[in-house]
Chains A and B, each alone.
Chain A
């Protein structure tokens, strides 16, 4: 009877399983196929020559990749430091006020990313909300921070803030208060409790938050365009140019594939070490 139920379950899962295969795996297969095609072809019916990878090396596209990864690392690190105290408060201290914070942060997500970033553009620009008012009221002025790489990191921190905050809060909620109290009773200081009790026990939340932020930041493009004024050309920008203005689908595919593989490799290591069931509260 149990075997029959299991078989029925598999059968019932088949349609959605096929749909997921087609919608997730097939585009990847097409991208991988185009990535090995000769330059500037628009069909897969050609002899593979892997020339796009030579172009990536010769024309210095790896620089964009390194910049994308560097910005993503920096964003993740900053967000971790910024979000930890707030997440801690949400999980352990604020009580009902946590709901207010959650609603406020979620509300941000209801507005399109581009509109929010353009709002920052208007706020930070010369003659914008901050510099304009300061100049009008005091006569003082300052060089705007726009069109620089710190502006891009600021934009990414702002946009991906919720993706770090909520998993961290979930992770911190997993830390039993008794463990912390016991450590305190045994004479551990606050830093020791943080590094040896809280962070290891909240690791699933930390890993999920860092991964989400890192993967999204590595693929981000709007921040570099709207706040960074392309002072840093990120890899996703190069992918877009290759597919459109260069009309070079194989090069665009090879660049995409390179980003996907590297980010997947970086993500796989921590994912293999955490128990996702634990953070979902389904530990058996």
Chain B
């Protein structure tokens, strides 16, 4: 007969043994887990639930970050073993994560065919920034993208004038106290370079540092408001607190446009200092994290988001609407209604892309960021 004391001892022993067995079990269970670190959109239930249904035994979790570097910090701070996929912009994917082996190459045989159905800018040849600098490894899959420069209320500043003036618009003393700055610091730095008249993606000369400092002080000093919250910024624009904002584009204003405020518009300058171009385009790259204990679901999910219905959900998820590379496929285009396409400024998309250069690593970033931070502090 077992006494209560013996039973308790046995139960405690079993509990101890099962605790010891946990690590082994969790290793074996990695293929039943998928953890995604992403910009908002991929983490919506609309996108995730059909995948969860297909893999009913798996735990699929997605968490959105507030900026590219914030998400990369999570990998650096011991998150390599926790995450399976990460979704950041092209410069951070190639310039930082691939270089530091935070991400690993994808299976080219499995994913290269998807490039054929993408928009021409990404299909022929397959989008170069999705590959390692030497062009051999496929670092990730491009999906959402958009020109990101500045945003105006076209009732106050005409589209033609904004495109024509470009970055000089913000140097006009008449605009003092009538514009905002969306403080996405790294973008602000690149846009200040453009405004100062030089290429942010080339090492900066002493002369240009001087111009940049002057421009940074003027633009930060004359701004009516600065915020990193795009909803607060759009609200200020709609209510007439400001007429335009420095740093922004379809990503930041499409939500307001879809709500009927089509007078709010992302602008790409007609001209600029880099071979006549003054705009910059971001392209999100979704990559497999270099997890020492990888989940096979990571590549399955990347393949899943290429499907037309799911790609459309990604484009319209998370309160913003953004063009996607899969729009080269007529089947995908047919899924969007007119209002959604208008919110994404699809009418001028190709034209705006032609006026943009790629978002790359900024070689003098540390120096320029320090000047920017000081100017912002006033």
**CB<8 Å pairs between A and B, sample of 9:** A59-B373, A60-B374, A121-B232, A125-B241, A126-B236, A128-B239, A147-B225, A231-B225, A245-B67
How many A-B pairs have beta carbons closer than 8 Å: the answer is 80
Nearest to B376 among chain A residues (CB) is: A233
The reply to whether B241 and A233 form a contact with Cβ atoms under 8 Å apart is no
Interface bits B48-77 vs A (CB < 8 Å: 1, else 0): 000000000000000000110110110010
| Minimal Cβ-Cβ distance residue in B for A30 | B77
Residues of B within 8 A of A118 (CB): 231-232
Q: Which of B70, B226, B232 contacts A244 (CB 8 A)?
A: B70
Q: Given contact pairs A226-B232, A230-B227, A243-B73, enumerate 7 new A-B contacts (beta carbons under 8 Å).
A: A61-B377, A147-B224, A225-B227, A230-B225, A230-B376, A244-B70, A244-B185
Kindly state the separation between the CA atoms of A226 and B67 in the bound complex, as whole angstroms: 18
- Closest partner residue, chain B, to A147 (CB atom): B225
- Is A63 a contact partner of B377 (Cβ separation < 8 A)? yes
Interface residues of B in 98-132 (CB under 8 A from A): none
Contacts of A241 in B (CB 8 A): 185, 373
Q: Let me know if A229 and B225 touch, CB within 8 A.
A: yes
Identify which of A118, A125, A128 gathers the most chain B CB atoms within 10 Å of its CB.
A125
Residues of B within 8 A of A194 (CB): none
Complex-state Cα separation, A244 to B96, whole angstroms: 13
Interface residue SS majority, chain B: helix
Q: From residue 37 to 76 of chain A, which have CB atoms closer than 8 A to chain B?
A: 40, 42, 59-61, 63-64
Cross-interface CB contact of B373 among A40, A128, A147, A238, cutoff 8 Å: A238
Q: How far is the CA of A59 from the CA of B241 in the complex (A)?
A: 31
Residue of B at shortest CB range from A42? B76
B16 close to A (CB within 8 Å):
no
In A179-214, the 8 Å CB interface with B consists of: none
Chain B residue numbers with a CB within 8 Å of A127 are 239-240
Contact B76 A230 (CB under 8 A): no
> In the complex, how many angstroms separate the beta carbon of B365 from the nearest chain A beta carbon?
9
- Interface contact A245-B69, CB-CB below 8 Å: yes
* Chain B interface, number of residues (Cβ within 8 angstroms): 34
Q: Give 4 nearest A-B pairs by CB, closest first.
A: A229-B225, A245-B185, A230-B226, A127-B239
A247 touching B377, Cβ below 8 Å: no
Asked whether B186 is an interface residue with its Cβ less than 8 Å from the other chain, the reply is yes
CB neighbours of A63 from chain B (8 A): 377
**Contact present for B76 and A245 (CB under 8 Å):** no
Interface flags for A104-122 (1: CB within 8 Å of B; 0: not) read 0000000000000010011
Q: Is B331 an interface residue (CB 8 A)?
A: no
CB of B366 within 8 Å of the partner chain: yes
Closest to A60 in B: B374
Q: Which chain A residues lie closer than 8 Å to B228 at the CB level? A: 225
- Whether B292 is near chain A, meaning CB under 8 Å from some CB there, is no
Residue of B nearest to A242 (CB): B373
Does A144 reach chain B (CB closer than 8 Å)?
yes
| B175–chain A nearest beta-carbon distance, Å | 16
A126–B228 CA distance with the chains assembled, in angstroms: 19
Question: Is residue B157 within 8 Å, beta carbon to beta carbon, of the partner chain?
Answer: no
Interface flag for A146 (CB, 8 Å): yes
The distance from the CB of B371 to the nearest CB of chain A, in whole angstroms, is: 9
Assess whether B239 is in contact with A60, with CB atoms less than 8 Å apart. no
- Residues of chain A within 8 A of B186, CB atoms compared: 245
Contacts of A64 in B (CB 8 A): 377
Tell me the bound Cα distance from A128 to B231 in angstroms.
15
Q: Which of A42, A229, A248 has the most CB of B within 10 A?
A: A229
Report yes or no: A233 in contact with B377, Cβ–Cβ below 8 A.
yes
Tell whether, in the assembled complex, residue B227 and residue A229 are in contact, meaning their CB atoms are under 8 Å apart: yes
Q: Report the Cα distance A233→B373, complex, angstroms.
A: 9
Within 8 A of B (CB), among A113-159: 118, 121-122, 125-128, 144, 146-147
Whole-angstrom CA separation of A128 from B70 in the bound complex: 33
How far is A226 from B231 in the complex, measured between Cα atoms in Å? Answer: 10
* Pair A226/B227 contact, Cβ less than 8 Å: yes
Known contacts A42-B76, A244-B73; is A121 also within 8 Å of B240 by CB?
no
Instruction: Answer whether residue B302 sits at the interface, using C-beta atoms and an 8 A cutoff.
Output: no
Residue ID in chain B nearest A222 by CB atoms:
B229
A22 within 8 A of B: no
A128 to B236, CA, bound (A): 10
A59 to B67 Cα, complex, angstroms = 24
Q: Which residues of A contact B370 (CB under 8 A)?
A: 59
A122 proximity list for chain B (CB < 8 A):
235
Most buried by A among B69, B231, B240: B69
Residues of A within 8 A of B204 (CB): none
Q: Does B23 contact A (CB under 8 A)?
A: no
Q: From B231, B240, B373, name the one whose CB has the most chain A CB atoms within 10 angstroms.
A: B373
Which residues in A have their C-beta under 8 angstroms from that of B69?
Answer: 244-245, 247
State whether the Cβ of A246 lies closer than 8 Å to any Cβ in chain B.
yes
Residue ID in chain A nearest B370 by CB atoms: A59
Closest to A234 in B: B377
Query: A135 to chain B: closest CB distance in Å?
Result: 11
Q: Would you call A126 and B240 a contact (CB within 8 A)? A: yes
Is the Cβ of A246 less than 8 Å from the Cβ of B76?
no
Chain B neighbourhood of A229, CB < 8 A: 180, 224-227
Residues on B with C-beta less than 8 A from A248 are 366
A232-262 interface code vs B (CB 8 A; 1 in, 0 out): 0100001001011111100000000000000
A226 to B224, CA, bound (A): 13
CB of B24 closer than 8 Å to a CB of A? no
